[in-house]
């Protein structure tokens, strides 16, 4: 196979960090090439340079034998490079055809474009209605818009940045069939993911980045997922240990919980019912945007619902706000670290005060007890191995993994009866993720009812006792997690929706 | 009371003249806000346009040159706002308010020597036999060029946003500037162009006040017209057609209440004076009552600072 894109010595430095340090690798025509690495390893910077969004400080690229240095994305598109973004590239208030036209260099008139969208989307088994508003689409359908936008330009190289993070297992299968068909037609695919099993099934070759440097390359089919993970992290990983124990009495009971969406493109919760027992972890999976944020809001008290929709040990608490719920030990850690779970520009001490003032007695008669607050913040830092110079540092200055350990630890140390967490390890490095999962398991072991909302199915299978899935604001009946197959989980998450396998017509 | 003195034909013809300044400012601000920028300096740009146009028209004797100078003055002032908010990333609300105060002060300074002067008259457009048609001719075909230009602008902006690629890109930038940047569009450049267009429109609207509607220069003569234009854009759910409706409604009620005051209607004058504001806001609020759709029409990046972090 001939080389399509060669990257030699690419370097890009930002103030204080070298994002890419002399990165070299090459991609052959028709090859599916994986780019592996933890968050912060420099994968995004690298593909942004290939797509012309960022200019390298040093190094050069060659595309089909000719020097290649795109000054902006339109030049990259003209050279046959297309990119599917992880996020940030669709416009909610515009329709599908308009979104696609924006990603093309010379789009045909709207009516012809709509016809082309229908035609291409049917060929690849990704049906799309060009007239619908993107804001009304499901996460899986939005992904299709991005992919169709790329396919309409007949790319030679397709870059995909974490494309499966929002898909059900069935949708992933169909996406892979589409990608294999594309590769068979000669298109090279640069595939970024941290889902190791997916890379093992799909990719021909893998380049591994760590701290901005290429540390290894391999054929992922010849490695185990554990070996790949160790190559990424550069250290041995220990899987969380779960203690056997029988759950106690029902602590939290949710029955008939409904909550209309507060924003035009949000999801309404519909008739959600479940129970959680003391010492049990209930895992709630589902594709992003199916009501996860709304469910967390209803359980934490940010959104108030009918009083008897949420019951703590038989007492109705649905109409209580966050502070009264904290007082009775119902705690929550939301998804967005910077801005929702923590105030970015406030110190760790102040952030500790914000949720722990009531339960830890950090305020009296409206005045703050600074020494006690600092001591509590230090306790969290110590117990959860948060790497920071001290509790006076701003939350924003911590890395994602360290701040997440602080945010979870802050709630865990308040001895909750019920703890609800949303995406506890999203964007967190592997070792921090492992210690957060261990902390949640230990918390359940000590008798707390834990609800983990996450889109990472591997994580949910690893720690939860029972599993349920959110789909369009409805919750499937919870089932014991042990023995569930990926197939069954996918169906609980809504299956393949209306996708179909690509018509591979050779 | 003597309602017989109110001639509906004259009333409609004069409401078009009364509404034109607000219509011009509002249609410009619509484009600015569609690109995701909230410029609260409309009032300041209008009054700067009013004095620039007035001064140049008086000095040169040509209203046409005056209108051009007003557009230029409004655009230059708006670019001060543009550079501050887009390049130096200052807060849009605070900068817009400062622009209004700055414009009011600057215009008072320039206008010191122009108080009490009469500007050269702006001719009506000669449409020949068309303006001879009874009723319709008086209402539709006996205005000056700017009235027709403002209507053409509304239609042009509507078509631009709906049918052209440049309009699509402008809407995309206002909807999600991060995504537009990721696709390789020049967010700052597009916004600066929109801001300059909005400034020129506001300046033209201001000059129409000082050269045609009043016509003379007094300090602070825009008297809140810029704020009304801002409110109309929001209550019109960012749609060109509704901006026209809102502006004409406001102008219409303003003219009507003056006529009613003259006719001696037994309603407190204060209430009549307030009526254009009340009626316009009430009607547009009712029209945008479908909150879901109205929220969709609002540009999602409106007022947010854009920083290309990559």
- A90 belongs to a structural domain: yes
How many angstroms separate the CA atoms of A322 and A331, rounded?
8
DSSP 8-state secondary structure symbol assigned to residue A394:
B
pLDDT number for residue A505:
36
Q: Do B183 and A89 touch (CB under 8 A)?
A: yes
Reference B250, options B216, B284, B218; nearest CA is B284
A131-171 per-position pLDDT tens digit = 888 888 877 788 888 888 888 888 999 998 877 766 778 87
A-B interface: how many C-beta pairs under 8 angstroms? Answer: 62
B309 touches chain A (CB under 8 A): no
- Per the rule left: phi > 0, alpha: psi between -120 and 50, beta: everything else, A329 is left
**Chosen domain end from A189, A205, A233:** A233
Contact A98 B176 (CB under 8 A): no
pLDDT of residue B19: 93
Handedness of CA A123, A125, A127, A128 (dihedral sign): negative
Are A90 and B310 an interchain contact pair (Cβ–Cβ within 8 Å)?
no
What pLDDT score was predicted for residue B295? 60
List beta partners, residue A205.
A33
| B308 lies within 8 A of chain A by CB | no
Model pLDDT for residues B171-200, shown as the tens digit of each residue: 999 999 988 998 889 999 999 999 999 999
Q: What is the mean pLDDT of residues B5-15?
A: 82
Encoding tokens for residue B263? 């006719």
Residue A284 counted as domain residue: yes
Contact assignment for B180 to A133 by CB distance below 8 Å: no
What distance in Å separates the CA atoms of residue A161 and residue A170, rounded to the nearest whole number? 19
pLDDT tens digits along A461-490 = 889 999 999 988 899 999 998 888 888 888
A288 and A160 in a single domain? The answer is: no
Element (H, E) at A285: strand A281-285
B184 vs A contacts (CB less than 8 Å): 52-53, 72-74, 77
SS3 of residue A58 by DSSP:
strand
**Category of A58 on φ-ψ map: left (φ > 0), alpha (ψ -120 to 50) or beta:** beta
Would you call B179 an interface residue with chain A, using a CB distance cutoff of 8 Å?
Answer: yes
Among A181, A203, A233, identify where a domain stops: A233
Find the residue in B nearest to A48 (Cα): B310
Whether A352 has a pLDDT exceeding 50, the answer reads: yes
Among B127, B143, B203, B187, residue whose Cα is nearest residue B310:
B187
Q: Hey, of B171, B180, B182, which one would you mutate to test binding to chain A, going by the most A CBs within 10 A of its CB? A: B182
> Nearest residue of B to residue A87 by CA position?
B179
Phi–psi pair at A389, nearest 5 degrees: -60, -30
pLDDT band at residue A506 using 50, 70 and 90 as cut-offs: very low
Q: Is B168 on the interface with A (CB under 8 A)?
A: yes
Please name the member of B296, B300, B310 whose beta carbon is closest to the beta carbon of A54: B310
d(CA A385, CA A395): 15
Mutate to test the interface with B, among A102, A146, A262, A339 (most CBs of B within 10 A): A102
Residue A499: inside a domain: no
- pLDDT value of position B25: 97
Contact criterion met (CB below 8 Å) for A458 and A285: no
- Which residue in the set B165, B300, B310 is minimally distant from A92, CB to CB? B300
Where b means 16+ CB within 10 Å and e means fewer, A42-76 reads bbbbbbbbbbbbbebeebebbbeeeebebeebebb
CB contact under 8 A, A98 and B292: no
Burial class (CB in 10 A: 0-12, 13-18, 19+), B145: middle
- Among partner residues B172, B178, B182, which is closest to A94 by beta-carbon distance? B172
Closest CA to A281 of A446, A411, A405: A446
- The distance from CA B230 to its chain's CA centroid, rounded to whole angstroms, is 8
Which token pair is A424? 């506890």
Q: What pLDDT is attached to residue A499?
A: 55
Q: How close A121 gets to chain B, by Cα (Å)? A: 21
* Set of chain A residues whose Cβ sits within 8 Å of the Cβ of B159: none
The pLDDT assigned to B122 comes to: 83
Above 70 in pLDDT, residue A243?
A: no
Answer whether A54 sits within 8 Å of B295, measured CB to CB. Answer: no
Measured between beta carbons, which residues in chain B are less than 8 angstroms from residue A263?
295
pLDDT of A494 higher than 90: no
In this complex, do B168 and A98 lie within 8 Å of one another by their Cβ atoms?
Answer: yes
Residues 262-301 of B with CB under 8 A from A: 292-293, 295-297, 299-300
- CA-nearest of A171, A93, A67 to A127 is A171
Question: Residue B2: is its pLDDT beyond 70?
Answer: no
Q: Distance from first CA to last CA of chain A, Å, rounded? A: 21
Q: Which of A233, A260, A282 finishes a domain?
A: A233
- Which letter does DSSP use for residue B86 in this model? I
Output the average pLDDT for chain B: 89
Indicate the average pLDDT of chain A. 86
Tell me whether residue A502 is in a domain.
no
CA distance B177 to chain A (A): 9
Do B182 and A85 lie within an 8 Å CB cutoff? yes
Task: Give yes or no: residues A305 and A216 share one domain.
Answer: no
Q: Which residues have CB under 8 Å from A470's CB, separation 6+?
A: A284, A285, A286, A290, A291, A292, A295, A453, A476, A493
Q: Looking at the structure, tell me whether residues A408 and A449 fall in a common domain.
A: yes
> If you average pLDDT over residues B220-242, what whole number do you get?
90
- Nearest CA-CA distance, residue B78 and chain A, Å: 27
Mean pLDDT computed over A293-317: 91
Joined together, the tokens standing for residue B154 give: 């509304």
Specify whether the CB–CB gap between B302 and B38 falls below 8 A: yes
- Structure-derived torsion over alpha carbons of residues B198, B201, B203, B205, reported in degrees to the nearest 10: -140
Domain boundaries, chain B: 3-297
As given in the structure block, the two tokens for residue A231 are 């190559």
Whole-angstrom distance, CA of residue A388 vs CA of residue A406: 10
Q: How many Cβ atoms are within 10 Å of B8's Cβ, its own excluded? A: 10
Smallest CA–CA distance, residue B297 to chain A, in Å, is 7
The answer to the question of residue A505 being in a domain is no
Q: Which of B171, B185, B295 sits opposite A94 (nearest CB)?
A: B171
Measured CA angle at A37 (ends A33, A43), to 5 deg: 70
Instruction: Quote the CA–CA distance of A66 and A6 in Å, as a whole number.
Output: 10
Residues of A in contact with B310 (CB under 8 A): 48, 53-54
Are A283 and A189 members of one domain? Answer: no
Element (DSSP H or E) covering residue B206? helix B187-208
Region label for A472, one of left (φ > 0), alpha (ψ between -120 and 50) or beta (otherwise):
left
pLDDT at B104: 95
Over residues A166-201, the pLDDT tens digits come to 677 887 888 888 889 889 988 999 998 877 888 888
Chain B: give the shortest CA distance to residue A77, in Å.
Answer: 10
Q: B154 vs B142, which has greater pLDDT?
A: B154
Alpha helices in chain B (DSSP H): 8-34, 42-60, 63-82, 92-110, 136-140, 145-163, 165-175, 177-182, 187-208, 225-235, 240-263, 269-287, 291-297
- Residue A317, both tokens: 């608490």
Instruction: Tell me the percentage of chain A whose pLDDT exceeds 90.
Output: 35
Q: Based on the domain organization, do A301 and A433 belong to the same domain?
A: yes
Tell me: do A335 and A377 sit in the same domain.
Answer: yes
CA B47/CA B108 separation, integer angstroms: 9
More confident site: A175 or A280: A280
A178/A300 same-domain check: no
Nearest CB to A48: which of B179, B297, B310? B310
Confidence of residue B40 (pLDDT cuts 50, 70, 90): very high
Nearest CA in chain A to B184: A73
- Cα-Cα-Cα-Cα torsion A129, A147, A171, A477, nearest 10 degrees, comes to -70
* Residue A504: per-residue pLDDT: 39
Residues A325 and A207 occupy one common structural domain = no
Residue-range definition of the domain harbouring residue A477: 250-492
- Is the per-residue pLDDT at A498 higher than 60? no
Lowest model confidence (mean pLDDT) among A288-302, A349-363, B280-294? B280-294
Q: Does residue A497 lie within any of the structural domains?
A: no
Residues A207 and A268 in one domain: no
pLDDT at B293: 58
Asked if residue A500 belongs to a domain, the reply is no
Looking at the fold, whether A152 and A261 belong to one and the same domain comes out as: no
Please report residues of A whose CB lies closer than 8 A to that of B182. 53, 73, 85, 88-89
Report the chain B residue with the minimal C-alpha distance to residue A149. Answer: B183
Backbone angles phi, psi at A264, to 5 degrees: -60, -30
Distance from CA of B288 to the nearest CA of A (A): 14
8 Å CB contact of A102 and B297: no
Q: Are A82 and A164 part of one and the same domain?
A: yes
Q: Is the pLDDT of residue A97 over 70?
A: yes
Q: What is the pLDDT of residue B294?
A: 55
Please compute the mean of the pLDDT values over residues B241-270 and round it to a whole number. Answer: 88
* pLDDT value of residue B68: 96
Which of the residue ranges A396-400, B109-113, B162-166, B218-222 would you say has the lowest mean pLDDT? A396-400
Distance CA A228, CA A379 (A): 35
**Cβ-defined contact of A89 to B182 (cutoff 8 Å):** yes
Q: Scanning every residue of chain B, which has its alpha carbon at the shortest distance from the alpha carbon of A97?
A: B168
Closest residue, chain B, to A263 (C-alpha): B292
Are A93 and B297 within 8 A, CB to CB? yes
| Spatial strand order in the sheet of A66-68 | A17-28, A3-14, A58-63, A66-68
Nearest C-alpha of chain B: how many angstroms from A343?
Answer: 19
Nearest CA in chain B to A49: B310
Which residue on chain A is closest to B298 by alpha carbon?
Answer: A93
Q: Count structural domains, chain A.
A: 2
Distance from CA of A421 to the nearest CA of B (A): 28
**A64 φ/ψ angles, rounded to the nearest 5 degrees:** 50, 45
**Same domain as A255, residue A123:** no
Does position B128 have pLDDT exceeding 80, yes or no? no
Instruction: Tell me the CATH class for B3-297.
Output: mainly alpha
Q: Is residue A502 pLDDT above 60, yes or no?
A: no
Q: Is A90 left (phi over 0), alpha (psi -120 to 50) or beta?
A: beta
Check residue A134 and report its DSSP letter.
G
**Which of A72, A88, A264 shows the shortest C-beta gap to B179?**
A88
Alpha-carbon span A420 to A312, nearest angstrom: 13
In tens, the pLDDT along B135-145 reads 778 788 878 89
Residue of A nearest to B170 (CA): A102
B166 contact A CB<8A = no
Q: What is the CATH number of the domain that holds A126?
A: 3.40.50.300
| Chain B residue numbers touching A89 (CB-CB < 8 A) | 179, 182-183
């Amino acid at each position: 196979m001939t080389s399509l894109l060669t990257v030699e010595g690419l370097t890009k430095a930002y103030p204080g960090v070298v994002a890419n340090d002399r990165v070299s690798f090459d991609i052959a025509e028709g090859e599916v090439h994986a780019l592996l690495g933890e968050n912060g390893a420099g994968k995004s910077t690298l593909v942004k340079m290939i797509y012309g969004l960022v200019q390298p400080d040093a190094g050069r690229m060659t595309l089909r034998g000719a020097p290649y240095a795109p000054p902006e994305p339109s030049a990259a598109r003209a050279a046959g490079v297309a990119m599917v973004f992880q996020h940030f590239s669709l416009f909610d208030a515009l329709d599908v055809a308009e979104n696609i036209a924006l990603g093309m260099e010379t789009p045909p008139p709207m009516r012809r474009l709509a016809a082309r969208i229908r035609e291409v989307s049917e060929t690849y088994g990704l049906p799309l209605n060009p007239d619908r508003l993107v804001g009304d689409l499901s996460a899986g359908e939005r992904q299709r818009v991005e992919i169709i936008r790329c396919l309409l330009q007949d790319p030679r190289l397709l870059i995909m940045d974490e494309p499966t993070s929002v898909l059900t297992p069935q949708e992933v299968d169909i996406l892979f069939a589409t990608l294999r068909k594309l590769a068979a037609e000669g298109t090279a695919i640069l595939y970024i993911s941290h889902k190791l099993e997916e890379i093992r099934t799909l990719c021909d070759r893998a380049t591994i980045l760590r701290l901005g440097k290429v540390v290894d390359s391999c054929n992922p089919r010849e490695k185990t997922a554990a070996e790949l993970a160790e190559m990424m992290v550069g250290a041995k990983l220990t899987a969380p240990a779960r203690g056997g124990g029988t759950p106690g009495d029902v602590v939290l009971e949710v029955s008939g919980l409904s909550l209309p969406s507060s924003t035009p493109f949000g999801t309404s919760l519909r008739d959600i019912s479940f129970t959680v027992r003391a010492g049990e972890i209930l895992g709630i999976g589902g594709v992003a945007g199916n009501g996860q944020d709304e469910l967390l809001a209803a359980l934490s008290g940010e959104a108030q619902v009918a009083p008897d929709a949420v019951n703590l040990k038989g007492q109705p608490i649905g109409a209580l706000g966050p502070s009264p719920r904290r007082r009775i030990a119902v705690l929550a850690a939301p998804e967005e670290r910077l801005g929702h779970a923590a105030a970015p520009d406030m110190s760790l001490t102040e952030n500790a005060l914000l949720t722990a003032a009531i339960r830890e007695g950090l305020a009296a008669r409206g005045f703050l007890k600074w020494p006690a607050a600092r001591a509590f913040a230090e306790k969290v830092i110590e117990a959860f191995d948060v790497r920071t110079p001290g509790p006076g540092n701003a939350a924003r200055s911590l890395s994602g993994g360290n701040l997440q350990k602080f945010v979870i630890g802050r709630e865990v140390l308040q001895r909750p009866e019920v703890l609800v967490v949303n995406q506890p390890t999203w964007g967190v490095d592997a070792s921090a993720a492992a210690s957060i999962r261990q902390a949640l398991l230990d918390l359940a072991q000590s008798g707390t009812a834990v609800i983990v909302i996450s889109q990472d199915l591997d994580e949910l299978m690893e720690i939860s006792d029972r599993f349920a899935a959110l789909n369009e604001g409805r919750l499937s009946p919870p089932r014991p997690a042990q023995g569930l197959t990926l197939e069954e989980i996918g169906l609980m998450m809504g299956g393949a929706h209306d996708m179909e396998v690509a018509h591979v017509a050779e | 009371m003597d309602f017989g003195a109110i001639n509906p034909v004259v009333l409609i013809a004069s409401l078009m003249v009364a509404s034109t300044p607000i219509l011009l400012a509002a249609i410009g601000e619509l484009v600015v806000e569609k690109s995701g920028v909230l410029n609260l300096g409309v009032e300041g740009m209008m009054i700067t346009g009013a004095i620039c146009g007035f001064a140049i028209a008086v000095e040169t004797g040509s209203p046409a040159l005056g209108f051009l100078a007003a557009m230029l003055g409004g655009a230059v002032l708006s670019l001060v706002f543009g550079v501050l908010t887009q390049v130096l990333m200052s807060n849009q609300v605070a900068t817009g308010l400062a622009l209004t105060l700055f414009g009011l002060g600057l215009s008072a300074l320039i206008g010191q020597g122009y108080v009490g002067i009469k500007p050269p008259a702006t001719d009506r457009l000669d449409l020949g036999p068309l303006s001879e048609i009874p009723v319709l001719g008086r209402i539709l075909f006996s205005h000056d060029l700017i009235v027709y230009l403002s209507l053409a602008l509304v239609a042009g902006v509507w078509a631009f946003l709906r049918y052209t690629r440049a309009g699509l890109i402008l809407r995309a930038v206002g909807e999600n500037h991060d995504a537009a940047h990721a696709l390789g569009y020049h967010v700052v450049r597009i916004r600066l162009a929109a801001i300059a267009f909005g400034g020129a429109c506001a300046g033209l609207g201001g000059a129409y006040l000082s050269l045609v509607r009043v016509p003379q220069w007094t300090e602070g003569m825009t008297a809140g017209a810029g704020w009304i234009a801002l409110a109309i854009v929001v209550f019109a759910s960012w749609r060109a057609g509704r901006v026209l409706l809102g502006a004409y409604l406001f102008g219409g009620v303003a003219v009507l209440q003056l006529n009613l005051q003259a006719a001696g209607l037994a309603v407190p004058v204060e209430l009549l004076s307030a009526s254009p504001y009340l009626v316009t806001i009430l009607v547009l609020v009712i029209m945008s009552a479908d909150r879901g759709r109205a929220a969709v029409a609002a540009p999602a990046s409106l007022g947010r600072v854009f920083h290309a972090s990559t």
